[in-house]
Chain A
């Protein structure tokens, strides 16, 4: 099939080239297509007749890209029933992506499926000195064996690595005297907030990737506003200098109706 170029305008249907089951509840869909891309940007994935949702790119090279999906709601469960050859709509990429400076010594901190956007970052970053990955338990660790830099693991139940939080490991590294020019983090918002706080305490800049309910993807409809920022357009990656001014970070988000609620209420809706 001849494919029209994928743009940030109307979606283009692509065939699933390969589906790889990752681990409990996760699968990665691969597409044969050369997508202009920077780590941290995202695409809108459309299942006709069902819905359209933003997903980060979890793998990207010259002639293919992939999204990694966790079976959570109606949309993601349906997405994971797709097989090789099935069609799915894609538009994008959208958003700003991570700011990367060569020669910087970086820490990468991933929580759960927050690993997905950081995976492409890790592939592109030559100077990761510390790579931390936390998950509920051993079975939820994504992409084993993928990275050249070894990861420090932590789990909620202690089934792999440190029993506790990613911030415990990050703090230990800092206290032991490791120097970081930049910390990159993605995971639950409370985790990113804790990483941000820790970085502020130690004077280290960080970048985190936020999530809000999105519609247009290009900064017009206002569904995903967070303080004065529009997450789909100004973000999803925000630097410490933005986060300091962002009073809704780790506090508020809008529901689909536009109703402003506490983050806990927002995430209990998002996880339905």
Chain B
């Protein structure tokens, strides 16, 4: 089920979502060996950052809540990692975050020099005081950060959006106009909160956290549906995709590729080959191709 995405041919439409297992070349290679078409590195920031104290990631059965808090060695402290990734035999997206346009620009410019296949800017993280989401909920700041980053990088730019935007389709269109090559939607939903009633404390140390997994899939599908109507650039659709049927649904909403994250919890690292295989089976059963079903839910 190989598929073209911008300038790259991928072995299938599954994408490892940012923040999941993206910490080293070795583990990305294993994810690739387990059937993933395109792997996203853990978000890279301007400074060394530890992230929040634990608990940071909790399974709720219907999905997860997390506030890991954007840990990163800092973009200037990853030479060993880049060196290792230079000799990779799989495609990667480097995810980047910042707390100002200038930070996004300088991190993205540097990361671009390391030749990832794509750069994704995370303007949608709900789990930090000052990074990310604040840019992605507003049309002007989305436009400014996208056009600033686009000018300084030499690989295609993906913009990761938040479902908290009052009108995500409008933000997506703004990003396209500012030069984005693709949209990735959605980041985690929320923030939400879980309180332990015996200790009377929020369970996450950051108190609030983003929701992911099956419980957010309908929101993700709706967002991708809305974005597909508004833009002509390709969309990586993610949010709760656990099975091939979930992936087919996301493609029908308008996604070109399907991101997988929380499902690693429920189906293991093998989830990528399982989902890709199940998509193939579904398409074969229905005598359809991926192209046939892309955006199919928009047909009147």
User: Which residues of A line the B interface, CB within 8 A?
Assistant: 1, 8-11, 13, 44, 46, 48-53, 87, 89, 91, 215-223, 225, 227-228, 230, 247-248, 254-260
Contact = CB atoms under 8 A, between A and B. Distances in A.
Contact of A87 (B21, B71, B199, B264): B199
Given A11-B58, A255-B73, 4 more contacts: A9-B59, A221-B66, A228-B27, A230-B21
Contact of B265 (A44, A218, A228): A218
Contacts of B72: 257-258
A256 B27 contact: no
B55 A259 contact: no
14 contacts: A9-B58, A11-B58, A44-B54, A48-B196, A216-B265, A218-B265, A220-B21, A220-B265, A221-B66, A221-B68, A223-B23, A230-B21, A254-B23, A260-B81
B277 to A, nearest CB: 21
Contacts of B198: 1, 13, 87
Given A48-B201, A222-B42, A10 B58 contact: yes
Per DSSP, chain B at the interface is loop
B206 to A, nearest CB: 12
Contact of A219 (B26, B51, B201, B264): B264
B57 A225 contact: no
A266 to B, nearest CB: 13
B30 interface: yes
B95 to A, nearest CB: 12
B20 A221 contact: yes
Contact of B26 (A51, A87, A225): A225
B295 to A, nearest CB: 30
Contact of A259 (B68, B77, B196, B201): B77
B23 A13 contact: no
A226 to B, nearest CB: 9
Given A48-B199, A49-B201, A260-B80, A254 B262 contact: no
Interface string B258-276: 0001101100110000000
Interface in B178-200: 194, 196, 198-199
B174 interface: no
B55 A52 contact: yes
Interface string B55-68: 11111110010101
B194 A10 contact: yes
B73 A258 contact: yes
B196 A257 contact: no
A44 B60 CA distance: 15
B27 A51 contact: no
B48 A257 contact: yes
A106 B275 CA distance: 42
Nearest to B22: A222
B147 interface: no
B42 A215 contact: no
Nearest to B81: A260
Given A215-B54, A216-B57, A254 B24 contact: yes
B36 to A, nearest CB: 14
A181 B245 CA distance: 47
Contacts of A50: 53
Q: Which of A1, A87, A215 has the most CB of B within 10 A?
A: A215
B19 interface: yes
Contacts of B264: 219-220
A44 B54 CA distance: 10
B196 A11 contact: yes
A189 B177 CA distance: 53
Given A10-B58, A221-B19, A258 B42 contact: yes
Contacts of A48: 196, 199, 201
B9 to A, nearest CB: 25
B268 A220 contact: no
Contacts of A44: 54-55
B203 A256 contact: no
B27 A222 contact: yes
B205 to A, nearest CB: 7
B74 interface: yes
Contacts of A230: 21, 27, 269
B71 A10 contact: no
Nearest to B268: A219
Given A46-B55, A219-B264, A228-B26, A11 B203 contact: yes
B278 interface: no
B196 A225 contact: no
Interface in B19-56: 19-24, 26-27, 29-30, 42, 48-51, 53-56
